[in-house]
Amino acid sequence: MDILISKENQILTMQFNRPDKKNAITAAMYQAMADALKDADSDAGVRVILITGHPQIFTAGNDLDDFMKNPPQGMDSPVHQYLWNLSHATKPIVAAVAGAAVGIGTTLLLHCDLVYAADNAKLMMPFSQLGLCPEAASSLLLPQIAGYQRAAEKLLLGEAFSADEAQQMGLVNKVLPADQLLDFARAQAAKLAALPASSIRITKQLMKAGQRAAIESQMLEESSHFGAMLVAPAAKEAFKAFFQKRKPDFSQCD
């Protein structure tokens, strides 16, 4: 299974499990996670959600081959269902990030409540390098969390940054040795699961309520631009260069 979903001690764990492909995410994987999040929200036996990958790789982001064969079509597409359910989850979400977290591997963290990273984590949002624009409301949330200049540097240049810098930006709660990461994240999830469910749920609701409408609006606007840019010359050149293992040439692209 490319997504491992398990439930133990009131914690639902979703693990990217495609290490031979750097945990790159396919449409089927997005659908599995979207469904798991939806089910968890109404399952009284789930109090916390934990998202993780492998010790050397969180996720390389979208599987570009699958992405081009199954491009997102509207807000009902698997990726948008996943992002919608993630951003609307009423139960706390804990993320444990080790290795590379590319594209949506970084932007999904903006919707998690607690984020822990291994000291080998490398985060990256290379949308501009692919001729695309941000998604997951990251163009709204990252400036709020990190400040405009830092967000601009990460979203405009699309370069990788370390777990320590992510912590300085406010995107990560704590950086740990890779061999301690998952145990620590599970322990934090267990703490949340042991607390009164209503208290945790309402506290999260109160913190999120003020910007829910803004997040929904931003996701819709990003999606509109993303869809148009996906078939534009810059993205076509970026994807072609990726598969040909060469540097893209955007000199003739607007």
The predicted-structure confidence for 152-209, as pLDDT tens digits, reads as follows 999 999 999 999 999 999 999 999 999 999 999 999 999 999 999 999 999 999 999 9
Mean pLDDT for 216-223 is 94
pLDDT of the residue at 76:
86
Per CATH, domain 1-178+197-254 is 1.10.730.10: no
Q: Is residue 98's pLDDT more than 80?
A: yes
When pLDDT is cut at 50, 70 and 90, the band that residue 97 belongs to is very high
Helix (H), strand (E), coil (C) string for 216-234: HHHHHHHHHHHHHHHCCHH
Read off the pLDDT of each residue in 112-126 and give the average, rounded to a whole number: 98
Q: Is the model's pLDDT at 117 over the cut of 80?
A: yes
CB 72 within 8 A of CB 227: yes
112 — pLDDT class (breaks 50, 70, 90): very high
Q: What is the mean pLDDT of residues 238-253?
A: 89
Mean pLDDT value across residues 233-243:
90
pLDDT tens, 40-92? 999 999 999 999 999 999 999 999 888 888 888 777 899 999 999 999 999 99
- pLDDT tens string 47-60: 999 999 999 999 99
- The residues with which 241 forms a beta bridge, in sequence order, are none
DSSP string across 31-75: HHHHHHHHHHHH-TT--EEEEE-BTTEEE--B-HHHHHHS---ST
d(C-alpha 108, C-alpha 32), whole Å:
16
Burial environment of residue 43 by CB neighbours within 10 A (0 to 12, 13 to 18, 19 or more) = middle
Residue 84 C-beta-side C-alpha neighbours within 13 Å = 16
Question: Which tokens in the block code for residue 98?
Answer: 């080790």
What is the Cα–Cα distance from 123 to 97, expressed in whole angstroms?
9
177: which DSSP letter? -
CA distance 67 to 136: 16
Cα(22)–Cα(10) distance, integer angstroms: 29
Beta strands in 122-253 (DSSP E): 122-124, 161-162, 174-176
Q: Of 168, 1, 172, 3, nearest to 97 (Cα)?
A: 172
Q: What is the pTM of this model?
A: 0.96
- Burial class, 31, CB count within 10 angstroms (exposed 0-12 / middle 13-18 / buried 19+): middle
